[in-house]
Amino acid sequence: MPGHPAMARPSTILLLGFSILLAACAAQEPIVIQGTAVPPLPKLDAVRVKKGERLYAQYCASCHGVELEGQPNWQQRQEDGSYPAPPQDSSSHTWHHPDELLLEIIANGGDPAFGLRMPGFEDQLSEDEMRAILEYMKSYWDTEQREFQWWISAR
């Protein structure tokens, strides 16, 4: 029977299924890590990334590389016991650390007790500028790395 309500057309069924799928995605359960609900990964702010790119070029690129590639052999101690500057792209460990620690390192420099020689930039950069540099660095990380770093920052 063509007009009978129990006999829905295939296009109606497809539309209904698609609507249910969209609703399910929109109502996705939050991710909970160690009892803490983590908000969705924020989108990178293009204006902040551009600002960070300019600041990175001025303050960071001479050691960490124009393309965030770091110095050669960055995992091997040098003769003086220090380590070369590591990459800030996805090939390094930077994304393993929460924002708070990364901002502290930018502000205060690397800890010499761990063989780090990076100077602090607290007197040259505002917190907003340091956050812009971090946003720029995050633009080089893939989605999984950004999600991991976001989750550990949110803890």
pLDDT digits (tens, 9 = 90+) for 55-70: 999 999 999 999 999 9
* Total structural domains within the chain: 1
107 lies in some domain: yes
**Token pair 């551009």 is at which residue?**
50
Query: Are the C-beta atoms of residues 77 and 83 closer than 8 Å to each other?
Result: yes
**Token pair 């930077």 is at which residue?**
94
118: tokens are: 């990076």
Q: Is the pLDDT of residue 28 over 80?
A: no
For residue 33, what is the enclosing H or E element? strand 31-33
**Residue 116 DSSP class:** -
Q: Is 98 exposed, middle or buried (0-12, 13-18, 19+ CB in 10 A)?
A: middle
41 lies in some domain: no
Taking residues 114-126, report their average pLDDT: 94
Q: Is 148 exposed, middle or buried (0-12, 13-18, 19+ CB in 10 A)?
A: middle
pLDDT above 90: percentage of residues in the chain: 63
Task: Give the C-alpha distances (Å, rounded to integers) separating 141 from 6, 7, 114.
Answer: 51, 50, 25
10 lies in some domain: no
pLDDT digits (tens, 9 = 90+) for 67-85: 999 999 999 999 999 999 9
30 lies in some domain: no
More confident residue, 3 or 107: 107
Structure confidence at residue 30 as a pLDDT band (50, 70, 90) = low
The CATH number given to whatever domain includes residue 126 is 1.10.760.10
pTM beyond cutoff 0.85: no
Q: Is the pLDDT of residue 107 over 60?
A: yes
The reported pLDDT for the residue numbered 20 is: 40
Q: Is the pLDDT of residue 144 over 50?
A: yes
51: tokens are: 């600002």
